[in-house]
Amino acid sequence: MTRRRAILFVADGHRDDFLRPELCPNLSGFAATGRRFHNHTGNFPSATRASAASIATGCWPGSHGLHGNTMGLPTDEGTVVHDVGDPAFVSSLRATFGRTLKVPTLAERLAPHGGVLIASNVSPGAAYFQDPDGYGHVVHRAGSFGPDRRPLGEEEAPVVTHDAAGDMALSAWFCDRMTRDAAPTLGVLWLCDPDLSMHADALGSARHLAGIAAADACFGKLRAAVDAMRASGDEVLLIACSDHGQETVIGHVAIGDELVAAGLKDSPTSCEVAVAPQGGSGLIYLAGEGQARRDAIAAFLVAHPHVGEVFIGRAMHTVGQAEGDGLAIAFSMAHDAHQNENGVPGRIWVCTSDSKPGKPVGQGSHGGLGRWERHPFLIAQGGGFVPGTHEFGRTRLIDIAPTILRHLGLPRDGMDGLALPRN
Report d(CA 233, CA 181) in Å as an integer. Answer: 12
Question: Shortest distance, CB of residue 123 to Zn ion, whole angstroms?
Answer: 9
Binding site for Zn ion (CB under 5 A): 12, 48, 195, 243
Question: Shortest distance, CB of residue 40 to Zn ion, whole angstroms?
Answer: 14
Question: Shortest distance, CB of residue 45 to Zn ion, whole angstroms?
Answer: 11
Which one-letter DSSP state was computed for residue 390? E
Pick 15 or 306: Cβ nearer Zn ion: 15
Report d(CA 67, CA 63) in Å as an integer. Answer: 9
Report d(CA 297, CA 381) in Å as an integer. Answer: 47
Other CB atoms within a 10 A radius of the CB of residue 28 amount to: 16
Question: By CB neighbour count within 10 A (0-12 exposed, 13-18 middle, 19+ buried), where does 421 fall?
Answer: middle
Question: Shortest distance, CB of residue 26 to Zn ion, whole angstroms?
Answer: 20
Pick 146 or 364: Cβ nearer Zn ion: 364
Radius of gyration over every alpha carbon of the chain, rounded to an integer in angstroms: 21
Pick 245 or 290: Cβ nearer Zn ion: 245
- What's the gap between Cα 34 and its chain centre? 23
Question: Shortest distance, CB of residue 190 to Zn ion, whole angstroms?
Answer: 9
- What's the gap between Cα 183 and its chain centre? 25
Question: Shortest distance, CB of residue 146 to Zn ion, whole angstroms?
Answer: 25
The per-residue DSSP string of 394-419 comes to EEEGGGHHHHHHHHHT---TT-SS-P
Q: Which residue is nearest to Zn ion (CB)?
A: 48
Pick 79 or 281: Cβ nearer Zn ion: 281
Pick 167 or 243: Cβ nearer Zn ion: 243
Question: Shortest distance, CB of residue 84 to Zn ion, whole angstroms?
Answer: 12
Pick 12 or 201: Cβ nearer Zn ion: 12
Pick 243 or 323: Cβ nearer Zn ion: 243
With beta carbons less than 8 A apart as the criterion, state whether 128 and 136 touch.
no
Question: Shortest distance, CB of residue 240 to Zn ion, whole angstroms?
Answer: 15
- What's the gap between Cα 232 and its chain centre? 32
Report d(CA 297, CA 210) in Å as an integer. Answer: 42
Pick 55 or 307: Cβ nearer Zn ion: 55
Question: By CB neighbour count within 10 A (0-12 exposed, 13-18 middle, 19+ buried), where does 154 fall?
Answer: exposed
The per-residue DSSP string of 43-94 comes to -SS--HHHHHHHHHHSS-HHHHS--SSEEEEE-SSSEEEEETTSTTHHHHHH
Question: Shortest distance, CB of residue 207 to Zn ion, whole angstroms?
Answer: 17
Question: Shortest distance, CB of residue 377 to Zn ion, whole angstroms?
Answer: 13
Query: What is the sign of the dihedral through the CA atoms of 44, 50, 53 and 55?
Result: positive
Pick 167 or 195: Cβ nearer Zn ion: 195
Which residues, in sequence order, are bridge partners of residue 96? none
The shares of helix, strand and coil residues in the chain, as percent rounded to the nearest 5, are 35, 25, 40
Pick 12 or 193: Cβ nearer Zn ion: 12
